[in-house]
Amino acid sequence: MDSILIVDDNRQVLEQLKELLSGEGYQVAFIPRSDFLRERLEKGNFDLLLLDINLPGKNGLDWLKEIKSDSKHKNLPVIMITAEDERDTLAKCFELGANDYIHKPINEVALKSRVRSAITTKRFLEQQLRLEKQKAMQSRMMMLSSQMNPHFVFNALASVQSLVMTQETEDAVNYLSEFAGLMRLNLENSLTPYISLSDEIKFIKQYLELERIRFQKSFSYNISVQVENPEDIMIPPMLLQPYLENAIIHGLGKLDRHGELYLLIQEENDIVKCTITDNGIGREAGIKYKPKKHHSVAMANIEARLEMLNAVMEKEEFSVSIVDLETKGRPTGTRVVLVFPNDLH
């Protein structure tokens, strides 16, 4: 329900405005003295302000100037109430940011029309602003999603070079072919804000196989998808890869035994839960192997993307939790759980 605040020192005018506007379905609040205006604006969430010009003490024009200079309230529509017909006064109202005015005595038809117009315009501008914000964020997210960790790219090419130098030409050609396929998928997926879960899984499988070869098959992986129709669930591209990469590099990469990586994707009611579990050295031990100024590009990107996704959706739809696994006080790996809605578009 749209909410309107009325400020007028004339009790009869207040009662008339309240009766007319309440009858139209608006939620109406009013104050007879402007002393309380600032307090009411701070406490309330109003869609429109009806402000009398000739208020005792601080007049309506002064209040209008103050309200429009406040970043918190500058977009609040204001309709001035006046018993005057002075062109200079009305011009000053518009100059200070008023949206419209109504004359006393109140004309019912004019009042309803101008109030409806002001609120409709506010809603339209809010929607346009929201759409522009979403477009900007989606463009930013698409750019971030296309940025694979440069270390992975460099290391993959180094692996090809190593295979060539040891004259394992056939393996080098196969690896390079797989790598090119992964880059092609990454490029294709980055051209759209959302891809199907099945496409993301296809990308993940190819990525994990390349990493397994690069790490000389020192770890194995298992992907379990407990989703009825993964091709119908849309997700942002490159959503899971950064967490898998982090598990491989910092968890399994320094392990002195065979590594194991598990990806479990489940659909539960209206959410999708992705659980990544490794039997690596754990986060605390992994920190010791990181350079002091190390900053993961992939993790920084995914954190920024999730923050923007939640901002676009205007609520906390994407969440990540990380648990350190241990047995009898000894680190036995890490578990990452990523949750998001199953009805993204």
Give me the pLDDT at residue 317, please: 84
- 226 near 267, Cβ under 8 Å? yes
Give me the pLDDT at residue 248, please: 92
- 235 near 200, Cβ under 8 Å? yes
Pick the more confident residue, 344 or 331: 331
Res. 163: pLDDT tops 60: yes
Give me the pLDDT at residue 140, please: 64
How many Cβ atoms are within 10 Å of 205's Cβ, its own excluded?
Answer: 13
Domain 146-341 has CATH 3.40.250.10: no
Give me the pLDDT at residue 286, please: 67
Instruction: Please give the structure tokens belonging to residue 149.
Output: 């960790």
- 325 near 272, Cβ under 8 Å? no
- 179 near 154, Cβ under 8 Å? no
Residue 200 dihedral angles phi and psi, to the nearest 5° = -65, -40
Give me the pLDDT at residue 51, please: 93
Span of 59-68, 139-148, 258-267 with lowest mean pLDDT? 139-148
Give me the pLDDT at residue 62, please: 92
Instruction: Please give the structure tokens belonging to residue 37.
Output: 């205006």
What digits encode the pLDDT tens for the residues 227-270? 999 999 998 888 898 899 889 988 898 888 999 999 999 999 88
Instruction: Please give the structure tokens belonging to residue 111.
Output: 């009042």
Matching fold, domains 3-129 and 146-341: no
- 273 near 334, Cβ under 8 Å? no
Cα 252-274-253 angle, rounded to 5 deg: 5
What digits encode the pLDDT tens for the residues 72-100? 888 899 999 988 777 888 889 999 999 99
Give me the pLDDT at residue 165, please: 77
User: Which one, of 9, 21, 59, 63, lies nearest residue 39 by Cα?
Assistant: 63
Q: Report the pLDDT averaged over residues 212-224.
A: 91
Q: Give strand pairing partners of 331.
A: 326
Q: What is the DSSP pairing of strand 259-268 with strand 3-7? A: unpaired
Res. 214: pLDDT tops 90: no
User: Which one, of 322, 166, 180, 139, lies nearest residue 242 by Cα?
Assistant: 322
CA 137/CA 129 separation, integer angstroms? 12
Strand locations in the chain, DSSP E? 3-7, 27-31, 48-52, 78-82, 100-103, 195-196, 219-226, 234-235, 259-268, 271-278, 319-327, 330-341
Q: Report the pLDDT averaged over residues 22-45.
A: 88
Q: Report the pLDDT averaged over residues 196-220.
A: 91
Give me the pLDDT at residue 280, please: 92
Q: Give strand pairing partners of 9.
A: none
Helix intervals (H) in 146-267: 150-165, 169-189, 197-214, 241-246
What digits encode the pLDDT tens for the residues 292-317? 554 566 677 778 778 877 877 666 78
Distance of CA 204 to the CA centre of its chain: 24
Give me the pLDDT at residue 262, please: 97
Report cis status (omega within 30 of 0) of the bond before 105.
yes
CA 166/CA 308 separation, integer angstroms? 46
- 252 near 259, Cβ under 8 Å? yes
Give me the pLDDT at residue 176, please: 84
Res. 198: pLDDT tops 80: yes
Domain ranges, ordered by start, for the chain: 3-129, 146-341
CATH superfamily of 3-129: Response regulator (3.40.50.2300)
